[in-house]
Amino acid sequence: MNNARKWYDEIDDSGIYMSSRVRLARNLRKYPFTLMQTDQTAQSVITEAENALMRGGEDFWNNFIKINIDEKKDIEKYSYVNKHAISPEFFKRRGPKGLFLTLDEQLSVMVNEEDHLRLQAIFPGNNMEKAWERISRLDDLIEESIDYAFDKDFGFLTSCPTNTGTGLRASYMAHLPMLEFVGEIGSVAQAVGKLGMTIRGIYGEGTEPMGSIYQISNQVTIGKSEEDIILALNTVTAQIIEKERAIAQKAVTNIETADKVYRAYGILTHCRKISLKEAVALLSEVRFGYVSGALKEKRPKNNIYAIMMNIQNALMQHNCGRSLREAEADALRAEFIRNSFSI
């Protein structure tokens, strides 16, 4: 664990946009795809990826840490998933795997997930352009030394045909408590689906969407340029966010709204034990309060999303270095939250 500030430490609680992410699926032409590969070729892919990154120069390379995910304890693996650094599928896969992650966790390369390479750039807030620019440079750098599996008709070839073409998945993470509250997420999802995009809840460890945070992403990766895919996603996301903002603007004049966010703040800053589910729900209300202006209390040291992640059981256990009983976790969670809010 390094102490550099991470992308999620930089999320600003004054907007509905929480993060902008781009990932590219890439494979090496000269090796069988992951489903068919031997441990030996899997290892070769890792080596080639590492060499490709090292070509970025010392300053660039020094910014990366190489993580042997198989050597990590389960709770640490889950914490990487929580932080969006890896997919849950990644650490479940057998055979040699590699993970290269920058200190700020903005840039990552997963080796031998579903594809040989999954490049990812993630930025706080509404920063898709930055993310796209960053991932393109990384993609170019790797291509200098690696021959990608590419077909002039299909584009980039991938393990799963749903990624073939651009191999691109762009996604926004957005906080949509009002759309959720008025029950409009379903109709939004339907509309978005017709445009080749999707919206889904971000899950913590539970089975319910975590704290009204949603991910909006493209589903279609073929037949359009990367720029067009991103442009369409930008447009749709902006519309969703406008809708959220319009409902919020009305709600914010109600005393019911003020009461809700202030009570949430009052409980979070005073409770002595709290379940993950309740904490996340109250944190979501408090974030809404900050974003909408309904809550005029001091902000916590870290942003709400970072707090939400830090109070997941996996990350708490990781930070404690041991497993925790539920009652213990509830008490530690309350303490962590109180400390976060006491400036």
Residues at the site binding a copy of itself, with contacts judged by CB under 8 A: 255-256, 258-259, 262-263, 265-274, 297, 327, 331, 334
Dihedral angle computed from the Cα positions of residues 288, 291, 295 and 297, in that order, rounded to the nearest 10 degrees: 120
Residue 110's nearest CA partner among 26, 171, 35, 3 is 26
Q: Smallest distance, Å, CB 292 to a copy of itself?
A: 14
**Which residue, 94 or 272, is less far from a copy of itself as judged by CB?**
272
Residue 305's nearest CA partner among 74, 4, 3, 7 is 7
Residues linked to residue 28 through DSSP beta bridges, in sequence order: 148
Structure tokens at 110: 């997963």
Place of tokens 């519309």: 239
Q: Smallest distance, Å, CB 285 to a copy of itself?
A: 12
Letter string b/e over residues 92-125, b meaning 16 or more CB atoms within 10 A of that residue's CB = ebeebbbbbbbebbbbbbbbbbbbbbbbbbbbbb
Q: Smallest distance, Å, CB 338 to a copy of itself?
A: 9
> From CA 231, how far away is CA 216, in angstroms rounded?
13
**Which residue, 76 or 297, is less far from a copy of itself as judged by CB?**
297
